[in-house]
Structure 1
Amino acid sequence: MSGVIGVMRRTLLSCTSLVPGGIAGAGAVSLIDTSPAWAAEPALNERLIQAFMNLSRQDLTALAMALGVLSFSVVAAILLMRTRIRAAANEQRLRSELRELQSEADRFRALLFVEPQILISWGAGEERPQISGDIALLLPQDAKQPLRILAFGTWLPPEPALQMDHAVDALRSAGEGFLLNLVTSAGRTVEAMGRAIGGQAIVRIRDLGGLRRDLAEMTLRHDSLLAETEMLRAFATAAPWPLWARGKDGKLSFANQAYARATEAADSADAIQRNLELLDSEDRTAMSRALNDHATFAARLPIIIGGERRMYDVHALRTGGGSAGIALDASEATALSGALARMADAHRRTLDQLSSGVAVFDGQRRLAFYNDSYRRLWDLDRPFLDGHPDDSSVLDRLRAGRKLPEQPDFRAWKARLHEAYRANEAVKDVWYLPDGRALSIVTTPNPEGGVTYLFDDVTESLDLARRYDRLINVQRETLDSLTEAVAVFGSNGRAQLFNPAFARMWKLSPEALAQQPHIDTVEAWCKPLFDDDDAWRTIHKAVTGIDNRTAVPLKLERKDGSILDCMTMPLPDGATMLTFHDITDSENVERALRERNDALEAADQMKVDFVHHVSYELRSPLTTIIGFAHLMNDPGTGPLTEKQAEYVNYITSSTDALLALTNNILDLATIDAGAMTLELGPVDVRKTIAAAAEGIQDRLTRDRIVLNVDVDPDIGDFIGDERRIIQVLYNLLANAAGFSPPDAVITVSARRTEHSVRFAVMDEGPGIPPDVRDKAFDWFESYANGSRHRGAGLGLSLVRSFVELHGGRVHFDPAIKSGTRVVCDFPLDRGAHRNAAE
């Protein structure tokens, strides 16, 4: 470059004279320095270059023409040098302007970010924005990830984040600007402003501080209060309760629709314009006085609305600008309160009648209610209980009287008991008191707070339970020890109880029976031993039947030859007990006894038939002999020698005795055959005794026996067969005479009782031993017992038969220690006589 400049300098100097009035001018001359140091002076070179650059096109053309001979390359070099010089000058100028613009931009940036803020800009068609500013303003921990600012939910609550998202979408899509005051999740107040500028969408977010923050917060609060006020006003207007507000002058300034309806106004405006009152004058005066004294008023007042008197809870509050009030319909609450009070009173009266002790403690753990059973249970004083003592005081007093269970740590025990005040479920427990009582206690938390204690004396119940358990155990042991098989089936038909004998008898597994099988299953198990369908159907009906539950006896003959006596017994709880008793041996013995009894009955019948037949056969010849003996003894037939007369008398006495014996045998046979009938009629007691005594008069005379007759004077008569009663007394007197020693006394007595006539014959003989008295009335039973009498043993048998035919009873008097006293009772009831005769 310096070489080119030197050439140009020399060329200009050589051609100065050739340029007309141009470069040789003062300006050009002034640029040329002939000094030898010109080449070394940059300032001179600069002046030269500047002078060259100032040459006009005409000067350059004139210079080129003047040069003429000079090479075209010199001109081209000059032009090139000029172009480069101009480019360097432009570059220098642009650099200077760039420095000025950069300086101005720095000043603007410093001015723009003098306060904390963030700029987000989207160019046309750009999806990725440019973000600048203080990122830590919103994301202090993610300052290195500025794009997270676009996730508004990371630094804003949900609702503001959604609002910001919609505003940015509207800005980018439609160019709609926005201005939002937001509160971040960290509690910082920021301003977000969005604008569309120069085809770009720009969002500026800056921190609000000082007055602007206060203004923003006031704006937010104002908007919130305005929304809240509108909401409350809308609620007050639509509320179903009368609401009103009054100014300082007492005039109505607000009234809702319910107030207008209550005061029978056309609408709220009409009620306000006419200043209609809801309360009576006395109630308004009381409310004004209360508001002036206490700033609040609350009372339940009657208000007439629509011609109906209803109760309202009126609440009023004094405010800075007047007062406000509300009236709540309490008619239903009043009715419910009254009903609740009545129900509570009835509940208390009911609790007073309970045998269980009841004590109710309120939320402050003080006694709110107790019944008389509670007082008697713990033997507490009424004044103490009526003083509403707390729970701890009651427990302390009971502990002092040794009425609570003994506890090693009473404080901890009481704390556990008081946990019921915080519990949700009832707790049951049993207290064993030092005096031997056992109390069941149920502790129930009350819904409104507090606890209800319910005490029951279960001493007797526990004792009964223990006794019942012992009884069940004894019953179980008894059943297990029985030889009889026992099984109990429930109402569902399943086996509930069985003893080992049942399992052994039917060859069943105790483990299988323990599974409570159904009666059908048990029947299937038992059928190999006994398969009688009718019997099992009867057992099944007895077990599963509902109606006509009666005991059913059954006799089961099993395939193994054993015979079981079965009984189905319905139980009170709906169950059925089956008992099986092996009667194989007893059945065999019974069969043998039955066969023997049949043989004995046949023998007795043969004996009776024989006696009856022989008696009849003997009676005919006896009658003939007796007739001829009397005929021979009749003087009309001719005289007899003394010896013949003696023999005839022997014949007569013997035949009479034999006839009497035959008649007795016939009577006994007739009675035994059931063919004897009584000829009932009035019986004269004295006459009957005399007739019987006349038959043994010769014996009494012969043995010097005295007959003592003792008859009640008012004995009267009774209904009976007189002939048979004479026969009874005759046999008794004959038996007594036979057993009496000479010079003895026989006493016959007759007494009338309330229901019978009693005959008694007593002798002074040796008597009958107690061990043979029961057999003395049997046939052919005769006891000499040291006496001279020996009979056929039929007299007492006839006595018992005739007395029993009359419905009476004959027996020996056990109180007689010496001799014998036989007592016969004949009933006075004719019905008994008829039944006996029949």
Structure 2
Amino acid sequence: MSERLRPRAALPTAASAAVGVLIPGHAQAAALGAPETAALALFVGSALAAVVSSVLLVRARRRIAETRAEADATIGELRARLDLAEVLAAADVQAIVIWRAGARDPEIVGDASRLPGAPAGTRLLAFGTWLDASSARMIDGAVEALRRRGEPLRLMLRTARGAHIEADGRAIGSAVMLRLRDVTGERLARAETDARNAELHAALGRFTALAEALIHPVWLRDESGRLIYANEAYGKAVEALDGRAAVERGAEFLDQNERAAARRANDAGQVFRKRAPAVFAGARRIFDVVEAPAAFGSAAIATDVSELEDVRADLSRQMDAHRRTLDELTTAVAIFGPDGALVFHNQAYRQLWSLDPAFLETSPSDAVILDRLRADRKLPEQADFRTWKAQLHEAYRAIEAREHWWHLPDGRTLRVVAAPNPRGGVTYLFDDVTERLALESRFNALSKVQRETIDHLQEAVAVFGSDGRLRLHNPAFQALWDLSEEELAERPHADQILTACGARHADAELWRRLKMAMTAMPDERQPLTARIDRAEGAVIDVVTLPLPDGGTLATFTDVTARVNVERALRDRAEAVEAAARLKADFTSHVSYELRSPLTNIIGFGQLLGDPRLGALSPKQREYVDHILSSSSALLAIINDILDLTTIDAGAMELELGPVNARDAIDGAVEGVRDRLAEAGLGLEIDAPPSVGTFVADGKRVRQILFNLLANAIGFSKPGHAVRVSAERTQDAMIFRVADRGSGISPELADKVFDRFESRTAGAAHRGVGLGLSIVRSFVELHGGSVALDSRIGEGTVVTCRFPLRAINSEAAE
């Protein structure tokens, strides 16, 4: 490159020289004119450029020829090297994988199929298909590190067939190379030795890890008996820092006699086994020592059995306590050995069969005892005793316990359990269940009666135990809440049942209270009474009651019909009361509205009848009299209604004073004389002067007698007499008004004193039904009472009783 640039650098110098030759001096240039000078310079420049270009072209051709010769020499050398590399690569069983920068796929040199078990082509890189698992994992990780970070690798791999492959990888320039070569000959032997050494080293590591993890002392000795290995438990036993420190110190775990005995056994090729005491971390304990001889020494382990010895001693003590406990049981127990001889029996066994203690101390066999009991008629009667006994003795060869029921001749029932012993023999348990069976029978009968009773109740009944689970229910409960038999058969908890019931009635607070009543602690459960209004209109009364056993009884009674009747009666009573109130309001308003025009009618009728205003014809006089009489009757009715309204309102006040009984009767009779004459009735008065006076409202007394007489006249038959009487007793003034009418039937007798009730049977008169009602109201306002005595076809007697004392006390106030 320097030679090529050199002519270009010298170009200005040559041009200057040429110009100097053509133009010797500045004077000459100055002598020429400007145009001539420019033309001359252009000519000289063109000539110089042509010369320079020719020189450069010659040099370039010579340089190209030299470069081509050098390239041909280099290519020849590289081809020779490539041929040598290919010869060397083919001389060995190997494959080379090259990853070049920018290349998509790797390049594989060599025949990969010659490697043991390796596939051809790029499948060679699927190491998991032809290498074993551990080798595949290693080469995969190493190749990844080689390609990413350029880390070289050198591994000894093992194929799935057991052959050995050497892997060598490194980065060369911008490329990465991996060489896989089959290992043969001495290198193969070395690889196999290294693999075997790795396996043995791994096995030794596993054994060492196990030995170090053991809590039992483990140690190894060489051929001379010198300690060469001890685990951590051994070091702890001899109070060393660890097993290595114990080996360095030569600390011994066993005493000299035990070591000597073990050495003698090992020298004889025998395994030394012995239970011996030893000191472990300063404490004396019992160990099972096992020391086994090996090719180059021995291995030993000591197992701590101190706890086992303690357990054995404790078991012996427990067995003694067990025997004493069995001897106190009410259940008869007899234990027989594998040979059938009696090993143990308790006091209950002797008492059950009334056997002689001396006989039992001789350890008789099972068969002998059965024969003796059969001779004493203490065993169940059997048609084939030999077969029965053989079946009983099958327990000696059985695996599980067998249960028998013996019904003895004396009426007792025994539950017999024959349980085989782990080391042979049989243990018999005799339980007298006579009384229990009788109690169970009575209990089952009572339970059946209880069940039948509950099942036939109309109320839904459920009983929950102390654990809150359903123990008992009847069909009515199941039907009421629409629960399935499968749900109730699993004895669900009260919470589950109440949740199912609550889904049909969404009163969360009520179900919470029921849950507390059924699932609280037994001593905290309280009775609960509640009412459930279901969505479909049913009404359920719920009552919970704690039971003595800690359970809870819950009853659900469908009171829909009763509640509906109560509601209907309540609604009817309210309607009747509202109607009565409406009627009273109506009559009160109507009476006040009628009284004013009626008063005008009466006033104008009286004016029409006054002769001073002009004479009337007889017919007009008759009409005016009818108007006045009808108006007076209507006014009396209105006054009665107003009086009743005043009494109902509590505004009626009596004007108390002395009232002469005879004068009151005469005043009332005076008002009905015309009616008596018109009805063709007579009048009888029974009021002697001794009747005297009493304290009352005279006006109201006369009104009472007037209404009674008017009522009697209206319902009396012509030709008879109405009788009125007065009688004085020690504490009351009594008035009676009797008629000889048709009488009142018993079903109407209780209604005649009600307002707007009128008896019509057998009478031409029909009133508005207020007379007797006013009579009762005024008499009761005086503190008295009214009674009616009537007989069909004979007449009616109304009795009014005015108390003297009550009236006298009110007058005094």
Question: TM-score, length-normalised on structure 1?
Answer: 0.36
Question: TM-score, length-normalised on structure 2?
Answer: 0.37
Structure with the greater alpha carbon radius of gyration: 1
